Amino acid sequence: MLDRKKVDNLEFLVSGIEQKALGLRRILERMEMENRQLKSRVGELEVSLELYKQKVKELENKNSILKVSGSLNRNTDKQESQKAKAFIDGLIKEIDRCLMLLEAV
């Protein structure tokens, strides 16, 4: 049989293991909560990123239009004027394609 000293020693070891397990459980719960918060934050940042991407695209389009407008307003060299006219022709063709697709629906 086990003597009292060994039993007390085992009880002490088991108690220590239980305490460590409880401590690890608390750490796990905190980490899970932090993980949920970080995932939520990532989602928010992804939405913001998409909004900024759209804004950049809009600004790039406005910039292109302003460049075309500027080159048409100024009497610059023929090459710039031809680029502007080609850009406008491309826009018109794209609009025509969209209209055809809408009529097909």
In a domain, 74, yes or no: no
Predicted confidence at residue 32, as pLDDT, reads 98
Predicted confidence at residue 59, as pLDDT, reads 93
Q: pLDDT tens digits for 10-25?
A: 889 999 999 999 999 9
Predicted confidence at residue 57, as pLDDT, reads 92
Mean pLDDT by 10 residues, the chain (105 residues): 79 93 97 97 95 93 80 67 80 86 78
In a domain, 81, yes or no: no
Instruction: Kindly report the pTM of this predicted structure.
Output: 0.52
In a domain, 48, yes or no: yes
In a domain, 76, yes or no: no
The whole domain housing 39 covers 1-54
Predicted confidence at residue 1, as pLDDT, reads 58
Helix crossing, 78-104 with 4-73: angle to 10°? 120
From the list 87, 92, 96, 90, the residue with the least C-alpha distance to 65 is: 87
Which ranges of 1-105 does DSSP label H, i.e. alpha helix?
Answer: 4-73, 78-104
